[in-house]
Amino acid sequence: MAGFNPQEMIERFKERAAAVKRRNLPPVGGEERQAFIDQAETDFMDFAIIGDAEASVEEGVLTLKIDLNS
């Protein structure tokens, strides 16, 4: 992929994780509020995991190395 920079992609995921942390709760209550909170937690975890990855491109294949030990 010409022009693809895996480190820039990693940085975008870090920004997304930070944006989830800053996200305001909508004016909803009850089950809808809990569903929003649950989704935000999942979004943060997914974005943070990718944001912590080490990326490499070899022969056109993107590889993400993610340490799940921490």
Q: What phi and psi values does residue 31 have, to the nearest 5 degrees?
A: -65, -35
pLDDT of residue 62: 94
53 belongs to a structural domain: yes
pLDDT of residue 2: 66
Structure tokens of 54?
């080490």
46 belongs to a structural domain: yes
Q: Which conformational region is residue 2 in: left (phi greater than 0), alpha (psi within -120 to 50 degrees), or beta?
A: beta
What is the rounded distance in angstroms from the CA atom of residue 70 to the CA atom of residue 11?
Answer: 20
- What's this model's pTM, rounded to 2 decimal places? 0.80
* Domain housing 35: 6-65
Domain tally, the chain: 1
Encode the chain (70 residues) as per-residue pLDDT tens digits. Answer: 568 899 999 999 999 999 999 988 888 888 999 999 999 999 999 999 999 999 999 998 999 999 988 6
70 belongs to a structural domain: no
1 belongs to a structural domain: no
Could you tell me if 44 and 17 are in contact, meaning their C-beta atoms sit under 8 angstroms apart? Answer: yes
